[in-house]
Amino acid sequence: MRKKINNIKKCVTAVATVAILAASVSTPVKASEEVPYITYTYDYYGDVKYTPAAYVPDGTVSGTNLGCGEFNSPQDINTDDEGNIYVADTGNNRVVVIGPDYKLKRIIDTVNEDGKTSKLSSPSGLYAVGDEKLYIADTENKRVIEVDENNNVIKTISNPKSDSLGDDFVFTPLKVAVDYADRVYVIAKNQFEGILTFNENGEFAGYTGTINVQITPIEKFWKKFSTKAQRSKQQLYIPTEFTGIEIDDAGFVYATNKDSEGEQSVRRLNPSGDDVIQQKTTGLSGDLNWKLTGDYSGPSQIVDVVVRDKGIYSIIDSARGRIFTYDHEGNLLYIFGGLGTQQGTFDVPTGIDAAGDEILVIDSAKNIIDKFKATEYGSLINEAIGLRYDGDEIKAVEKWKEVLKHDSNFELAYVGIGKSYLTAGNNKKAMECFETGNDKQYYSIAYKRYRNEILKAHLEQALTIVVILAIVLILWKKVFKKRFKTNKKRKEKINA
C-alpha cells in the first residue's frame, strides 16, 4: 500500500502538480436532494471505490406535462440525430414523439397502409432512422413496421417463414434496431436462439449473436445421478435471452442479455454475429459484488444499452436501478442511479437513451422519463475518453489532471497520463503511472523501454570499463610473465 501511495505522489506531482492528494480510499459521496444515490466504481481488484457524482438528476418528462395524457407502462425510448425523442407508450397503444425542446410533436396510434388505417397494439420497441422515419415493434399485432413522418407504412415485417423457425413459430417482436444497410434486427418473445435478422427487403436471414449456456462438469455429474423429478426442476440449458439492442455508426450491434452468473450482459456483434467487445478485469455485467439472498440479491439484470459518442456506452440494471458506463476498451468509467421514490431514482427502468449530453431513462412504473446531466467530473471523464479514443493522449492529459483533482483514485486517469509519458519517451514516470493505474500491459511495455534506455545509456561506459580491464589484464600478464622469466634465470644462476 505504501508503495502504491508513493507512486501516486510521484505520478501526480510530475504531471499535474495536483494540490491535494487524497488517501488511498476515498470517502463516500453523501446523498442529497441533488444526488439521491451513492456513486462509486470498482478498482482493478474489484473493490468498491466511492466517487463524486458523474451525472445528477435534471428533471422529468411525463405525458401529463406534455399534454397528451399520462404514459402507461412505457417500454422503450429512442432518439434521432435531430434530438427528437420517441417513447413506446405500450399500455396506451401508441408512440409519443417529443421535440428537442421537450414539447409534444406528434402521436402515432394509427398507421396508414395500402389505403387502410390500423391501430398499434402494445408497441414495445422502436428505432429512429432519420428524417423522422421510425421502425416500431408492434408487439401484439405481431409485426415490425417502418413509418414516415405522416404515419404512412413504408415496410412491414410479419409472419416470417423459414425451416429454422419451425412450423409453430409465432412472431412477437419486442425490440428492434436497423443498421446503415437497412438490415433489421429483432428481439422476439420466447426466442432464445439469438436475434432475428432481416435483409433490406424484410426477408428473414437467420439468427445472430446466439449465446449458448455452458454446463459445468459438476452440473453434468449431478444431472447424471438425479432422478427424473429432480432433473425437471433443474435449470434448462438453453441459450440466453436478449433484452435490449442498439447499433453504432460502424454497424456493430450492441445487445444486452440476461446473465445469471453476472459475468457478461452486453455484447458487440460484428456482421458475422461474433462478439468482438473488449473487456477488462471488471467484466461487463454491472455490479461485481452482490448477495445471493435478501433485498437486492442476485446479479444485475441489464435490460438496455445506449451507444454514445467516442465509443462510450451505458447499460441499465433493472434490479438495482443503476447505470453503468464503459469506454470502447471495456474500462468502467462511472456508476450512478438507484431505486427509490426521489427524483432521479427509479421503480422499474426499462429503457435508456441519450439526447445530446443528457441521458434519458424510461420508467414503466412511474410512467415518466428521467433526465440526467453530466457534472464537471462526468464531463471531464467523457472529454478525456473522447480525446483518448481519437488517439490524442497528449491533449487528454490536461483533462485527466482535472479528473484527479476530483478523484485521486481514478485509475484510468493514471493510465492516460502514463500513455502521454510513454509517447514522450519518459518511460520511468510512465511506469509509475501505469503501476498506480494497475495497467499491467502498459507497465510491461514501459518497463522494457526503460530497461533498454538504461542499457543504452550505460553501454558506452560499460564498454569503456571492459576495454580498460582488458588492457590492464594484458599488461599485467606481460609484467607477470617478464618477472617470472627473470626470477627463473636468477634461480638457475644460484643453483649453478
Cell matching residue 327: 469506454
Question: 3-class SS at 381?
Answer: helix
Q: What are phi and psi of 415, to 5 degrees?
A: -65, -45
DSSP code of residue 339: B
Structurally, at CATH architecture level, domain 55-374 sits in: 6 Propeller (2.120)
Residue 323 CA from chain centroid, whole number: 10
DSSP E strands, 199-355 = 204-208, 242-247, 253-257, 266-269, 302-307, 313-317, 322-326, 332-337, 349-355
What percent of the chain shows pLDDT beyond 90? 66
Written as one string, the DSSP assignment of 146-175 is: EE-TT-BEEEEEES---TTT-TT----EEE
**Is residue 233 over pLDDT 80?**
no
Mean pLDDT, range 5-15, rounded to an integer: 52
Q: What are phi and psi of 130, to 5 degrees?
A: 105, 155
Q: Point out the least confidently predicted range of 257-261, 382-386, 436-440.
A: 257-261
Q: What is the pLDDT of residues 280-339, one digit of tens each?
A: 877 899 999 887 777 778 899 999 999 999 999 999 999 999 999 999 999 999 999 999
Other C-beta atoms lying within 10 Å of the C-beta of residue 338: 20
What pLDDT, on a 0 to 100 scale, did the predictor assign at position 284? Answer: 93
What pLDDT, on a 0 to 100 scale, did the predictor assign at position 491? Answer: 63
CA atoms within 13 A on the CB side of 167: 0
DSSP code of residue 249: T
Please state the domain extents for the chain.
Answer: 1-31+396-496, 55-374
Q: Point out the least confidently predicted range of 90-104, 127-141, 466-480.
A: 466-480
Higher pLDDT, 22 or 233: 233
What pLDDT, on a 0 to 100 scale, did the predictor assign at position 131? Answer: 79
Give the Cα separation of 61 and 72 in Å (integer). 13
